[in-house]
Amino acid sequence: MTEAKLTLDNERFEAALAWHVRLEGDAGEDAWLGFAQWLEADPQNRIVFNQVDAVTHEITARLSSASVDDFTPVVVRPPVWRTAAFSKRVWVPSALAAALLVLGFFQFYGAPETRIYTTKVGEHRDVALEDGSTIHLNTDTQVAVSMARNSRNVRLEKGEAEFEVAPDAGRVFSVDLGTRRVEVVGTAFNIVRTDGRLSVAVEHGIVQVRQNAGTETPVKLMPGDQYLSSEGSAEYRVAKVNPSAIAPWRTGRLVFEDAPLAQVASELNHYFTKTIVIGDEATGALRFSGILKIDDEASILHRLEAFAPVTVQEKGDTLVLTRGSSK
């Protein structure tokens, strides 16, 4: 690794720690907006921030069970962390800064490894984690996984995934959804994060959803509960679903209940290369209920024409849905 690369990584890690400390306090809307812009500026920013988050959870766990005097000091190589100057720059309180240096956790290359798993459009993938948990990735999905001694952290960047979490009372399993975090010990649940929509549905066990900003009481979800919200909104609702019918995509089906046709088209677009577009606002507002088998695009659209008063027209690389019967 070159010196230039090492310096760049150190600077990114310092920025990630600065954001973490700032957002742990009373951060306002401007701070969260700036943080979102920093994350989107480079995919590596998300990865390093997840590493910082995992390490701070481990430090908190250690500090809660022992005093600083119980730990053996270690030497941190300059210029990776410049003690007093660095602490002042990122607003770390002196006691916490000292604890971090004593524990020696914030050496960049000692941070938990983050692994990225993705699926292409139309692809499914099962990921077995080292703790015995499994993540089932639906089409067009990306997750970042960081496993530490006292924490299990996943960030669902986009898409849909079903989680089968192995019980581990000593390590909470958390899924970061941007402005929200899902936390469990051992359970099975499905999460959707696509096109601005957020959904968390519980098959068995207990799940809690908390907002990263604010001090609101976490929302506890029981089997058959579905948490529904939107990106950037604090509003949410909890609906009831059949636990056995959660994640129908794993059996090759999509289930819609009184969904606007615009939403149906949006979900189908995650499975096929040709883009489905809605011809006009009235067509997009049509309601659709039914089960669509996920096979080939032509067959699905033929079934959609049979079930709903719409026609499909192919125009180049797009498929246009317009109101009107194809019969």
The CATH code of the domain that includes 260 is: 3.55.50.30
In a shared domain, residues 119 and 177: yes
Residue that has been written with the tokens 């971090």 in this structure? 100
Does the pLDDT of residue 184 top 60, yes or no?
A: yes
Does the pLDDT of residue 236 top 90, yes or no?
A: yes
Helices (H) and strands (E) in the chain, counts: 8, 18
Domain count for the chain:
3
In a shared domain, residues 9 and 104: yes
- Residues 61-90, mean pLDDT to the nearest whole number: 46
The CATH code of the domain that includes 223 is: 2.60.120.1440
Judging by DSSP bridges, how do beta strands 287-293 and 225-230 pair with one another?
Answer: unpaired
Percent of the chain clearing pLDDT 90 (strictly above): 32
SS3 314: strand
Q: 182, 191 in Cβ contact below 8 A?
A: yes
pLDDT at 5: 40
- Where in the sequence is the domain holding 220, given as residue range(s)? 114-245
Give the end of a domain, one of 245, 261, 294.
245
- Residue spans of alpha helices (H) in 90-238: 94-103
Among 82-96, 118-132, 155-169, 272-286, the range scoring the smallest mean pLDDT is: 82-96
pLDDT at 30: 74
Does the pLDDT of residue 304 top 80, yes or no?
A: yes
In a shared domain, residues 298 and 193: no
Judging by DSSP bridges, how do beta strands 125-128 and 114-118 pair with one another?
Answer: unpaired
